[in-house]
Amino acid sequence: MHSVDVAIIGTGSVGIAVAYYLVRDHGVRRVALVDPLPPMSLTSAQSGENYRNWWPHRVMTAFTDHSIDLMEQLDEASGGRVNMTRGGYALVTRREQPQDLIDALHLGYADSPGQIRLRYLENGYVEPRRMPWQGSPSGVDVLLDRALIRRTFPAFAEDIATVIHIRRAGSISAQQMGSLMLEAIREAGGTLIRGEVKSITGRTPFTLEIATPDSASTSILHADRIVNAAGPGLQDIATMLDEDLQVECVFQQKIAFTDTLQAVARHQPFAIDLDGQTLPWTEEDRALLASDPATRRLTEPMKGGIHCRPDGPVEGNWIKLGWAYNETPSDPHQPAPIDTQFPDSLIRAASRLQPKLAAYIGRLPRAMRHYGGFYTQTAENWPLIGPMATPGAFVAGALSGYGSMGACASGSLCAAWVVDQPVPAFARGLAPARRQDTALMAELAGLAKGTL
Ligand SMILES: Cc1cc2nc3c(=O)[nH]c(=O)nc-3n(C[C@H](O)[C@H](O)[C@H](O)COP(=O)(O)OP(=O)(O)OC[C@H]3O[C@@H](n4cnc5c(N)ncnc54)[C@H](O)[C@@H]3O)c2cc1C
């Protein structure tokens, strides 16, 4: 039996970041991280490790900008261990002058006007390069000229009419970031406890009953404050406190393989096809898929958001693709609902934007990796960071498909909430108490949910 100032439940990217900022910024040393699994091994191990500051709302832009600032600090201070690159995000559509998308950019970047550059000509446009973040362009280039798009992105299909190139975006190594934070936590005296929190009783101090990973025995931990950073287990912890966080878990998948045919240019930014589509099946396949209720939807119009990027070093040949089209929540305690049809559907869909990928239809390499994890999310797809209803309990989670890029800001904001220090104005919109703000909730209900 022992006691700590703060117990953090969950050693994914988010829980680790909360502990890191508690020890680094607030000198809290008696911190324990509790998890039955090795650090960074659940959802955080499945991340595509992409980041961007593009959101259709200024609060989320401020949140990710804050997180990117913190990641850059970590990267710089560690001599580049976070491995941040900044090739950008290329959002692609066949629509000419898509005013709704341009309006959404203005909404998202409302606090830093002048960042959006509409480009009909090449002048001043810095071509995409997977480069270090230092000295890279920021803001957004909206390419509206087909000739310019063809020259810049020759691998894209010829019907592409607009490319929105988000510049403060790229990739990180979330695993490296987690390890370097863990080193600092351990150095400062923080501890890791291997076990699953089974019950929480008492209040400040809380009494946590912790079962060893094999459930052979339990131990007790007392903590003045607790942080719920349990990822897909967020609601389990909330239930122990008689609270409902209103989150759901939706399984999403990715594939990665060696692009031996060089279908994807190594300097290409993370490219997202925004347009919905109906997948091109043969008549025979279509009839077969339509006859099974589990696969019928693959024959119907599907949502956009198919994404693809080169992975690893520029001189390598791995590529990663994903498509968060699943919208059906599932129980995270049950086996992962991995969809064996997913790689084939995805490569067909992705070849609409990058026609050379069609060569892999029916021929995906045997060594392909097909993996997935849960997007733990709220209805409005904003995270929950801040005090729970129970005094002394805090939450940092529901980071959906953006928890690697959002981990640092989640950690620093949650740490400030825990020690009762001021938080920036935007952080109030991310706290569970936002649900009492009917005007904000009505505004969010009107926003389209992200597709990534
Ligand atoms: C396919 C996929 C691709 C993604 N791509 C990106 C991307 O490109 N960029 C990006 O920013 N984000 C991405 N994400 C999202 C990102 O991976 C997650 O948002 C992030 O990893 C969530 O971290 P977490 O710490 O909240 O949760 P997790 O990593 O799931 O950690 C939660 C931990 O809590 C523990 N836990 C649960 N219950 C208990 C309990 N009772 N007691 C003790 N411990 C408990 C679990 O064992 C787990 O280790 C992606 C996610 C998926 C699934």
Ligand 1 contact via 37 beta carbon (within 6 Å) = yes
Ligand 1 contact via 235 beta carbon (within 6 Å) = no
Give the mean pLDDT of 409-430. 98
Ligand 1 contact via 175 beta carbon (within 6 Å) = no
Contact yes or no for 341/295 (Cβ under 8 A):
yes
The one-character DSSP state at 341 is T
Give dist(CA 202, CA 351) in Å, integer: 56
Q: For residue 384, what are the CA distances in angstroms to 40, 166, 379, 398? A: 20, 25, 11, 6
Looking from the CA of 228 toward its CB, the CA atoms found within 13 Å total 35
Q: Predicted confidence band at 449 (pLDDT cuts at 50, 70, 90)?
A: low
Query: Would you state the structure tokens that stand for residue 146, as one six-digit string?
Result: 């087909």
* CA-wise closest residue to 264 among 303, 320, 305, 221: 320
Give the mean pLDDT of 430-443. 96
Query: What mean pLDDT value characterizes the chain?
Result: 94
92-124 pLDDT per residue, tens: 999 999 999 999 999 999 998 888 988 877 777
Q: Which residue has the higher pLDDT, 134 or 230?
A: 230
pLDDT of residue 53: 96
Q: Predicted confidence band at 450 (pLDDT cuts at 50, 70, 90)?
A: low
pLDDT of residue 10: 98
Output the CA 159–ligand 1 centroid distance in Å: 37
The one-character DSSP state at 38 is P
Q: Is residue 70 pLDDT above 60, yes or no?
A: yes
Give dist(CA 369, CA 365) in Å, integer: 9
* CA-wise closest residue to 413 among 63, 72, 7: 63
Looking from the CA of 432 toward its CB, the CA atoms found within 13 Å total 21
Q: Which residues contact 161 (CB under 8 A, 6 or more apart)?
A: 93, 94, 95, 96, 144, 146, 149
Q: How does DSSP assign 124-185, residue by residue?
A: TPPPP---BSTT---SEEEE--HHHHHHH-TTS-TT--EEEEESSEEE--HHHHHHHHHHHH
178-198 pLDDT per residue, tens: 999 999 999 999 999 999 999
Query: Would you state the structure tokens that stand for residue 2, as one six-digit string?
Result: 């022992």
Output the CA 331–ligand 1 centroid distance in Å: 15
Contact yes or no for 250/377 (Cβ under 8 A):
yes
Q: Is residue 452 pLDDT above 80, yes or no?
A: no
Ligand 1 closest atom vs CA 197 = 42
Ligand 1 contact via 385 beta carbon (within 6 Å) = no
Q: Where are the alpha helices (DSSP H) in 11-122?
A: 13-26, 58-77, 99-108
User: How would you class 81 by CB atoms within 10 Å of its CB: exposed for 0-12, middle for 13-18, buried for 19 or more?
Assistant: middle
Q: Which residues contact 305 (CB under 8 A, 6 or more apart)?
A: 272, 273, 274, 323, 324, 325, 451, 452
Helix (H, G, I), strand (E, B), or coil: what is residue 51?
A: strand
Give dist(CA 440, CA 443) in Å, integer: 5
Q: Is residue 131 pLDDT above 80, yes or no?
A: no
Q: Predicted confidence band at 128 (pLDDT cuts at 50, 70, 90)?
A: confident
317-336 pLDDT per residue, tens: 999 999 999 999 999 999 99
Domain positions in the chain are 2-49+174-246+379-445, 89-170+249-377
Q: Is residue 382 pLDDT above 90, yes or no?
A: yes
The enclosing H or E element of 409 equals helix 403-418
Give dist(CA 281, CA 290) in Å, integer: 11
Proportion of the chain above pLDDT 90, given as a percent: 89
pLDDT of residue 432: 98
> 89-170+249-377: what CATH class?
alpha beta
Q: For residue 67, what are the CA distances in angstroms to 26, 75, 402, 444? A: 18, 12, 11, 21
Of 66-75, 221-230, 279-288, give the lowest mean pLDDT range: 279-288
Output the CA 407–ligand 1 centroid distance in Å: 10
Give dist(CA 227, CA 33) in Å, integer: 9
pLDDT of residue 248: 98
Give the mean pLDDT of 158-180. 97
Give the mean pLDDT of 425-431. 97
Give dist(CA 58, CA 53) in Å, integer: 10
- Which neighbouring-strand residues pair with 206? 223
pTM recorded for the entire structure: 0.96
Q: Which CATH architecture has domain 2-49+174-246+379-445?
A: 3-Layer(bba) Sandwich (3.50)
Q: Which residue has the higher pLDDT, 121 or 52?
A: 52
Q: Which residue has the higher pLDDT, 281 or 391?
A: 391
Q: Is residue 1 pLDDT above 60, yes or no?
A: no
pLDDT of residue 215: 82
- For the chain, state the CA radius of gyration: 22
In the block, residue with structure tokens 């239809």: 361
Ligand 1 closest atom vs CA 195 = 43
